[in-house]
Structure 1
């Protein structure tokens, strides 16, 4: 299917610029054509008439939505394997995902980085007079922006949490903190979104609880998880391409968590380093399409890759 046909089906947002650059030779020769270069992964059209694309993860890195000149060798392969595991966990729980079970020829050199994806459009609905897209977030612990909001007496999700709750308070049952998806994610009233999508929210809440217990049994604490929902060509809701992965969830090894070390095994290590190096300020001078030139010590690269490897080893069924 050509990109023009994908656009005509309403399955690709016009705001996302496509590319005419040539992709990886062994894929292009088989009829997969590069059409979109993301911060961390690339998309190819597929031979045939089905509404699907091939996602190819790279070793590229980004934080704070800033594209970096940094690559961590092996990251893309680990992330793809973790993503496949997360998608399979959701499928075993009876939930559809955009990740298809089929894949490219396993003999291809690029195969460990590849996932076949069903083309879908983001779930949209009207909230308070505005048509918005959603990020459906579940939290096991009080930390981050929600902790700060509670400390300041704010109640962005209508949950009536008290200001005396300590950081890293464990909720008896996961709390639901939905936001809009956009340039800036805006908090939404939890009860309003739950009423709008009762079956979706209930299903995802159950999935999150089951995954939390599975991860705990295997030595990993799940702090929170973000789900992005899409609608396929049949009108069915499906989970997006990051399902229960470090790109959508915060994972902390149980031994670190029990010792009070709350650094998650994902890009948080890179984010913390980026804050120290003031990357956000540096990125303000970037032009469209430019990457921020950064110098990251090998020790930090190794720590990030080690986190992904630990997650993969512990959470592989």
Structure 2
């Protein structure tokens, strides 16, 4: 299937720029053709007529939607394995993901970075007169941007939280804090979105609760996670490719958490480093297609990679 066929099916937004660059030689030689270069992964069309694409994760890194010149050797392989585990966990909970059980030839050197994906389009709906796409975020603890909002008396999700709540307060039931998906993620009223997608939200909430319990039994605290929902060619909703991974969730080892040592085992480490080094401000000078040149110590890279490895080893079923 060609990219033109994918666009014709309404499964690829024309606004997303495709590339004419050649991809990995061993894939191109088998009829997989690179058509999109993302911040952290690339997409290839597949030989044959089936509506699917090949996702190939790189070792590239990004934070705050800023493309970086940074790569961490081995991150792409670990992330793919964690994503496959997350998809399997969702499947056992009765939730379909866009990740296909079919695999490419496992003898290929690039195989550990690859996932065959069903072609889908993002879930969209009208909210306050605008058609938006969504990120469905669930939180077990009060921290990050939501804690800051509470401290400042803001209520971006209509949750009516008390300003007296302390950081790292644990919620009896996970909070649902949806946002739009776009250049800037805007908070949405939690109850309003829940009313629009009651089945999806209740399914995601249960998945998050079950995964939280499973992770804690295996020594990891799940702080929060983000789910992205897509619509397949049959009009059914499915989960995206980042299912309960360090790219979509925040994980802390149970031992560290119990000692009030809130060190993340995910890309939050890189976010914190980037925040300390003013990457957001520096990125404003980037031109289209440029990456921010950053100097990240090996200690930071190793901490991130070790965190991914620990998550993979602890949460593999």
Aligned match of 1:163: 163
Counterparts of 1:160 and 1:282 in 2: how far apart (Å)? 36
Shift of 1:276: 2.0
Aligned match of 1:221: 221
Counterparts of 1:227 and 1:287 in 2: how far apart (Å)? 30
Aligned match of 1:22: 22
* TM value normalised by structure 1: 0.99
Q: How does 1:163-242 map to 2 (within 5 A)?
A: 163-242=163-242
Aligned match of 1:285: 285
Shift of 1:263: 2.1
2:50 aligns to what SS in structure 1? coil
1:34 aligns to what SS in structure 2? strand
Q: How does 1:114-133 map to 2 (within 5 A)?
A: 114-133=114-133
Aligned match of 1:268: 268
Aligned pair count? Answer: 317
Aligned match of 2:109: 109
Deviations 1:193-239 (CA, angstroms, capped at 9, x unpaired): 11111110111111000000000000000001111000000000000
Deviations 1:63-120 (CA, angstroms, capped at 9, x unpaired): 1111111111100000000000000000010001001111110000000000000110
Counterparts of 2:202 and 2:53 in 1: how far apart (Å)? 29
Give structure 1 regions of 4+ aligned residues with deviation exceeding 2 angstroms. Answer: none
RMSD value, Cα: 0.8
Residue 33 in 1 paired to residue 47 in 2? no
* TM value normalised by structure 2: 0.99
Q: Which moved more, 1:153-162 or 1:214-223?
A: 153-162
Shift of 1:131: 1.0
Shift of 1:159: 1.2
Shift of 1:277: 1.8
Deviations 1:250-295 (CA, angstroms, capped at 9, x unpaired): 1111111111121211111111111222212221211111111111
Q: How does 1:84-99 map to 2 (within 5 A)?
A: 84-99=84-99
Residue 57 in 1 paired to residue 52 in 2? no
Shift of 1:127: 1.3
Counterparts of 1:37 and 1:123 in 2: how far apart (Å)? 22
Counterparts of 2:132 and 2:259 in 1: how far apart (Å)? 40
Q: How does 1:290-309 map to 2 (within 5 A)?
A: 290-309=290-309
Unaligned stretches of 5+ residues in structure 2: none
Residue 42 in 1 paired to residue 38 in 2? no
Counterparts of 1:278 and 1:158 in 2: how far apart (Å)? 31
Unaligned stretches of 5+ residues in structure 1: none
